[in-house]
Each structure stands twice: as structure tokens, then as C-alpha cells.
Structure 1
Amino acid sequence: MTAQYTATAKLLHWIMAIALIALLALGFYMHDLPFSPMKLKLYSWHKWAGVCLFLLVFVRLAWRIKHRPPALPEHMRPLERMVAHGGHHMLYLLMIVIPLSGWLMSSAKGFQTVLFGVLPLPDLLEKNEALGELLQQLHMGLNLFFAAVVIGHIAAALKHHFVNKDDVLTRMLPSKFR
């Protein structure tokens, strides 16, 4: 078993990491904007990126299933291993559930998702404003939880690098940054 992730795994990780953080920031930014053509444009971009990342997470999952990640360091205690695996599972789950909650919310609020402005995606629910408001709260809460899990993920990687002085962080970095 290799001590490094594959180049494809690293590429998928960093594309999704950067895109998800940008998408999260855009979501928080646009939420409180006054209604305007710019707000509608940002919502469209947010939806397009969300759909693309939703699809990309399945590519990433398929890659991970076919290519086992490097083993965790021997020095990690069973509880640490459980938390590490649980954190990764939670990240994948949230990368699937959050875009679904956004799509459901858009459907319930009566705003169809039209990918790249040309490909209308089917509404998942009938228009229902009250349900749309509940789904908006769910979408926001899931994103706040996602942000917390990402912060924990980054903190754990930094702990491994600076405190434990192992290779957990560096084996996911592109080779020019190691």
C-alpha cells in the first residue's frame, strides 16, 4: 500500500475543497443581498456549482472505492481512528445531502434549477412556500455544520503535521508543496 494518495485523489480533493469553500462563502454572501438581477445571477451560479459538485462527489466516491487510501499512522489510538473515519464519512454525507437540500428548497420555493441557464432540472417537490422556508433553514443549518466539520478536518490535518509530525497532511498535498 502506498503512503501517498493517488494524483487523481489529490486533484479531486483539492478541486472540491476549494470549490466547496467558495460555494459556502458565496451562499453566505448572497443570502442577505437585496433582491436584484445580481442576486438572481449569484443564485444561479450557486446552483450550477452545487449541481456540478454534487455530481463530482460521486466521481470522487467511485475513485475512493476503487483506490484505497493510505493507512492511518500506527500511533493513532482507536478513538482517534474512529473520529478520523467518522469525519470523512460525515464530509461525504454532507457533500451529498447539502445540494439535495438546496434543490429541494428551490423546488418548494418555485425556483426551478436550470443548469448553465440551458438545462432545466426537474423539480423534486411541488411549490410549497412553508416547506420551502423549512428547507431553507435546513440548508443553512447543514452548511453551518459542514463548515464546522471542515474546520475540524483542517485542524486535524494541521495537528498531524505540527504536533504529531507525521505524514497525514503531506501525503494529500500536491508533490510540489511537500
Structure 2
Amino acid sequence: MPSVQASTPWRYSTPAIVLHWVLAALIVFMAGLGWWMMTVEHEPGGRAWINLHQSVGLILATLVLLRVLWRIFHRPEPLPAGVPPWQARLSHIVQWLLYLVMVLLPLTGIIGSVYSKAGLHFFGPSTNAGLTPVRDTAEQFFGFHEILVWTLVVLVSLHVLGGFKHLLVDRDRVFDRMWPRRG
């Protein structure tokens, strides 16, 4: 297998790196918060956890939109020539599926929330857009939302495993392109 040069000619831009790591942290936080809120949703104070999840989710949706727009207008260089074509293709597929799921996940949560009796909240006030609650519609979109969370877990796991492979096995500095600069 051909090796990738030890030095790579490009890095992701600072805005792309910042958005990547902020989104990574928020996605992990939101997945944990989502699973937690489902265990306490019918408990006293459970609604506050749901409101927090919705509020942070709206912020996350905005950051995902910014990341997608940044990516559309700032195409990265291809992977180094030494990366096997099947790995480059798999990386490309996983990245685009990540983008798709990161867009669909908040949309399904928002739609499910606005059709729920409680509505959608942003740090307090309900913003249900004047829609009449429809339980079946809300539950359907919450079902899609749950499927997308598990899809995201699989995709993020593949993404992280690929990153660690480049860092620890290949040692080809591909991982360094998205890691914040030191010093």
C-alpha cells in the first residue's frame, strides 16, 4: 500500500475547523441530552429538559446551516494521492451523509415539536408557528428524528474511526488538517 507523504500541503480553514469541533461537541451533548430527556420527560421538571434540548437544537441547526454554506463555498482539497481510492470514496460518502443527517435531524425535531401539544420552545416561549397540534404527525416526525439520531451515531462512529486510523495507524497527517493548530 502506498504511503501518504508525512507533510500535507493544506489544512482546513479556521472557520471550518471551529465549526467542525463546535458541532461535534454540541452533537454529542445533544444526543446525551436527548436520551436523558426521554427518561425524565414525564417526571416533574422533565419539560425543562425538553425545552433545553429544543433550544440548543435550534442553535445547532443554525450552526449546521452555517457549516453547510461554508462547505459549499469553500471546497477542500482532495485527500492525498496515497490514500486508497476506496477509502477516499468511503470518506466522501460518510461526510455527505453526515451533512444530510445533520440537516434532517433538526428539521424532523422542529416539525415534530411544532405539531406537538407543547410546541417548540426557544429558551422559554413557545414558537409553535400557529399550527394546530396533530399528535400522529408529531409522533411520526419524532420517530424519524430517533432513527436519524441512531444513523448519526453510526456515521459519527465511522468518521471518528477513520480519523483515528489516519492519526494512529497510517500516521499520514490527514487528521492534522482538521485539528486546531498548536502554538
TM-score (norm: length of structure 1): 0.90
CA shift at 1:118, angstroms? 4.0
Structure 1 unmatched ranges of 5 or more: none
Instruction: Sort the Cα spacing of 1:121 and 1:154 in 2 relative to 1 into closer, same or farther, 3 A.
Output: same
Distance in 1 separating the partners of 2:44 and 2:110 = 21
Deviation at 1:119, TM superposition (A): 6.8
1:5 positional shift:
0.8
Alpha-carbon distance in structure 1 between the residues aligned to 2:15 and 2:27: 18
Amino acid at match of 1:89: W
Q: 1:148 aligns with which of 147, 154, 157?
A: 154
Counterpart among 165, 168, 172 of residue 178 in structure 2: 172
Partners of 2:37 and 2:163 lie apart in 1 by 30
Aligned residue in 2 for 1:134: 140
Counterpart check, 1:116 vs 2:107: no
Task: Name the structure 2 match of 1:160.
Answer: 166
The corresponding residue for 1:106 is 113
Asked if residue 48 in structure 1 is aligned to residue 33 in structure 2, the reply is no
**8 A contact 1:114–1:120 mirrored in 2:** yes
d(CA) in 2 for partners of 1:94, 1:147: 10
Task: Check conservation: 2:114, 2:127, Cα contact below 8 A.
Answer: no
Alignment partner, residue 79 of structure 1: 86
Paired amino acid for 1:143: V
- Deviating more after overlay: 111-120 vs 12-21: 111-120
Identity of aligned residues (%): 28
* 1:64 aligns to 2:68 (yes or no): no
Q: How big is the shift at 1:161? A: 1.2
* Matching residue of 2:4: none
Deviation at 1:42, TM superposition (A): 0.8
Question: What's the TM-score once normalised by structure 2's chain length?
Answer: 0.87
Structure with greater contact order relative to length (CA < 8 Å, sep ≥ 6): 2
Residues 24, 143 of structure 1: 8 Å contact kept: yes
Which of 2, 26, 29 is 1:19 aligned to?
26
- How far apart, in 1, do the equivalents of 2:51 and 2:9 lie? 41
Provide structure 2 residue ranges, at least 5 long, that are not aligned to the other structure: 1-7
Divergent runs of 4+, >3 A: none
CA distance in 1, matches of 2:173, 2:111: 40
Greater helix share, 1 or 2?
Answer: 1
Number of aligned positions between the proteins: 176
RMSD of aligned alpha carbons: 2.0
Q: Does the aligned pair in 2 maintain the 1:3–1:71 contact within 8 Å? A: no
Conserved in 2, the CA contact under 8 Å of 1:2 and 1:70? Answer: no
Report SS of the residue matched to 1:57. helix
Kindly state the Cα deviation for residue 108 of structure 1 after the two structures are TM-superposed. 2.5
Deviations 1:106-141 (A, max 9, x none): 122222213222472526x64222232222222111
**Separation of aligned partners in 1, 2:48 and 2:125:** 14
